[in-house]
Chain A
């Protein structure tokens, strides 16, 4: 997941390196570091913004290590879902329990359905739906679409996926 973190550092040498060390220790991928040396917080400290990608189970360790080093963690903004995907479904989408279809994606823990548009032209005619899916990573997006395809096979739905997935 992608994490955006606001920190406060003491104005003494070596603090920035100290702040970055836990991220690299847990194999985080640094996206950006903004060091506002000219600004001061009301507590007289230097605000720093970090953005990095990290496996979700390592985030708590990083926060603990930072706090142990005397660095204040002011706010943490986790952005879990980095990948946005869209698919189209055709078939008897509602009659084959659309809630179940969505639940199965949501229950993966790595992907969820975030939007649904349904067109039902006439009873007994196949419906069409556009589904937006968010997932933790590209690989998880592929896995979510594979899962959706296997659900669709059971329910005789046609899944139209974007080019370039997999």
Chain B
């Protein structure tokens, strides 16, 4: 049995989802020879540190009841720098402007030779090359399946399962909020503003939805895909982005009458990285509705491979994090 000491840095929806999944899957993980011991959890204001292992169930209920995970005032970055452990589970919020605290955390982890599994897009969308170089020079693993498409296995599918294939192009829907709004506008023949309000009411869209509806979120994910799957060296500024805010219900109807849906599509090929609303034939595999995400990659040997799944949700994202953890430590 291999004991892996881990910290969870960031204890919002995703961090809590990871804690729940680690609790649920404890016996399974032991069955495959991995004893996961969370020795620290930090949220934005507080932390709990216990070298013997934090009680995840009580950490979760404490967070739920009081809004804080612990009583320590040590920051996540300080935990990474000072507490002995092997794995940092980095689930702080994305900052696409600077990479934010996530970038600092990841670099601090690599300085100490620790492995990182993250759901944080910002650092990878901005500084993929630097982050990977730092991981490589310290001999650390850096896995980030959860950054693209939540539960959908995008990165690992292309890099591990389809190893040996040349990736020719990729397109997909990577933002469930936009997909929900467009699907509902079509169903109800209702304007964008009304369906955005509905999505906010249901908690599908944020109070400030610009990150999703202007295509920034999709663009960040495309950069990660372009760099990790297509071996490019691009950053957010290399993506041409058009969001969904100008789409009208009449446009959706006209498209529908011609046999098309309108979807916010992200695409990567050797000539461009682009996010824009596109016409998708209603019978096409990319024409998925609701909050679903879908990813289609064109390969030289396997042809087109398309997968669809839930692109967000705390447990779904935690599923991607768990699979990264297992793939690092199983062998």
Contacts and interface: CB of A to CB of B under 8 A. Distances in A.
A84 B247 CA distance: 23
Given A129-B254, A130-B254, A160 B171 contact: no
A86 B247 contact: no
Interface residues of A, number: 21
A116 to B, nearest CB: 10
Given A160-B262, A161-B279, A163-B280, A88 B255 contact: yes
A90 B260 contact: no
A163 B250 contact: no
A61 B91 CA distance: 70
Name the residue in B271, B278, B279 with the highest tally of chain A Cβ atoms < 10 Å from its Cβ. B279
A70 interface: no
**Mostly helix, strand, loop or mixed at chain A's interface?**
strand
Interface string B262-281: 10010100010000111111
**Mostly helix, strand, loop or mixed at chain B's interface?**
mixed
B278 A161 contact: yes
B286 A163 contact: yes
Nearest to B259: A86
A139 to B, nearest CB: 15
Contact of A86 (B171, B248, B258): B258
A150 to B, nearest CB: 14
Contacts of A166: 271
Interface in B163-181: 171
A90 B255 contact: no
B202 interface: no
Contacts of A44: none
Contact of A162 (B246, B253, B257, B260): B260
Interface stretch (A25-33, A71-79, A97-105, A120-128): A120-128
A119 interface: yes
A119 B247 CA distance: 13
A90 B171 CA distance: 23
A117 interface: yes
Nearest to B246: A158
7 contacts: A86-B258, A86-B279, A88-B279, A126-B246, A160-B247, A162-B278, A162-B279
Interface of A: 86-88, 90-91, 117, 119, 121, 125-130, 132, 158, 160-163, 166
Interface of B: 171, 242, 246-248, 250-251, 253-255, 257-258, 260, 262, 265, 267, 271, 276-281, 284, 286
